[in-house]
Structure 1
């Protein structure tokens, strides 16, 4: 049994060390009835946003701290661009992005991100 765990350990450790934990993105996040979007700083490309538990605190902050509908908020996060079919409102965007870890957010947009 001990040998089994040793072999399993040596097989899984390289996989864990090469796992893709995503890229860091920063830009403008907008939430609303038909909008759930992210636009990277300095870009015109907009993504439909997907997240589960990782973005809930950030989204609650957005809902309670923005003063206008569809107000942009600064967001920095670790995530992945997804290559999946989308429908509904998401079809109007350039792609789909998944948030896996929120790093920072603020209602103040930094100058390089306006």
Structure 2
């Protein structure tokens, strides 16, 4: 009987640990809202962002539906011209089945705070 109680306790304890880990992963997947500043490039095949401070590159998903429109309003002659942006976003793991798999993370833009052709002096240059 004691062996049964110990086994039952062990199974319950492991279940709690597994559930807690899965909830943490779900919270990480949604991500925390961040404000990132860096260079954004947009074109037919690639939507990328380079964080000026850390130098990391992210695939960009525009959930706000305003980033791509704002970029297009600059009327560049060629695609992939970099612009400086400041955005509210959260980071998620990139989907391994599409182009974004080449990037460690995907930056999901929720709000565009600033977008300009003028790239400021500092780590972005």
Q: State whether TM-score is above 0.5.
A: yes
Aligned with 1:110: secondary structure? coil
- C-alpha separation in 2, matches of 1:42 and 1:67: 28
Which residue pairs with 2:72 in the alignment? 63
Which residue pairs with 1:77 in the alignment? 87
The structure whose RCO (Cα within 8 Å, separation 6+) is larger is 1
RMSD value, Cα: 1.9
CA contact (8 A) 2:92 2:107 kept: yes
- C-alpha separation in 2, matches of 1:94 and 1:83: 7
* Structure 2 spans left out of the alignment, 5+ residues: 1-30
**CA drift at 1:87:** 2.3
Deviating above 6 A after TM superposition, structure 1's stretches of 4 or more consecutive aligned residues are: none
Flag the 1:21–1:91 CA change in 2: closer, same or farther, 3 A.
Answer: closer
Q: TM-score, normalised by structure 2?
A: 0.65
> How many residues end up aligned between the 2 structures?
93
* Structure 1 spans left out of the alignment, 5+ residues: 1-19
Flag the 1:92–1:63 CA change in 2: closer, same or farther, 3 A.
Answer: same
Structure number with larger C-alpha Rg: 2
- C-alpha separation in 2, matches of 1:84 and 1:61: 24
